Amino acid sequence: MPDQSQVSMPIDINSVKGFLSPAEGNTLFECAREMPRGSVALEIGSYCGKSTVYLGLGCKKAQSTLFAVDHHRGSEEHQAGELFHDPELVDETGAFSTLANFRSTIRSAGLDDTVIPVLSSSAQFARVWQGSLSLVFIDGGHSLDAALLDYRSWVGFIPGNGRLAIHDVYPDSETGGQAPITIYRLALASGLFREVAAVDSLRVLERL
């Protein structure tokens, strides 16, 4: 991958709720920008849209499309009483929901023509998906079962030279959960991928 350049943002990206560092975001932008023209990327786990903006802006440069898949009810760690629960993201029914924030972010970033939101779990969407994906970004549920399901549902759609990006890869269990690094190691052990970038907790692999 080439040297990263600072992404020109149409919105104040720091105001968007999320857990992505600027360096990780720039890397995602470059991955999407380098996609073949007219190809498709998939994001698993959009939250309030921070990573979606970086990916979407890269796809816009590549004249490509991003499917942003999220049920928008939060992962296990976002529920009431859990470590990453945000009471500002509770809807009128009392349930955790990031959907309104996500839609506002995408609209403000001018990405309505590039990003296609999919209100679904990734496994449900994978059952009806057809075609290849030049880039898959996994940042969904961080339980081992959820991460494995995301990986197994989508890895087969990545063609040669396509890329798999995984967020929250922490070698030390005291730093972060171990589900993302488990699927990262599975991908490398499969012999189908090589690592092309490691930025903070983001890992980018390329299909051989």
Question: Catalytic pick from 71, 72, 78, 142?
Answer: 142
3-state secondary structure of 201: coil
Q: Which residues contact 45 (CB under 8 A, 6 or more apart)?
A: 51, 69, 70, 75, 122, 138, 139, 140, 141, 167
CB 162 within 8 A of CB 206: yes
3-state secondary structure of 26: helix
Q: Which residues contact 118 (CB under 8 A, 6 or more apart)?
A: 67, 68, 69, 70, 125
Known active-site residue 142: yes
Residues known to be catalytic: 142
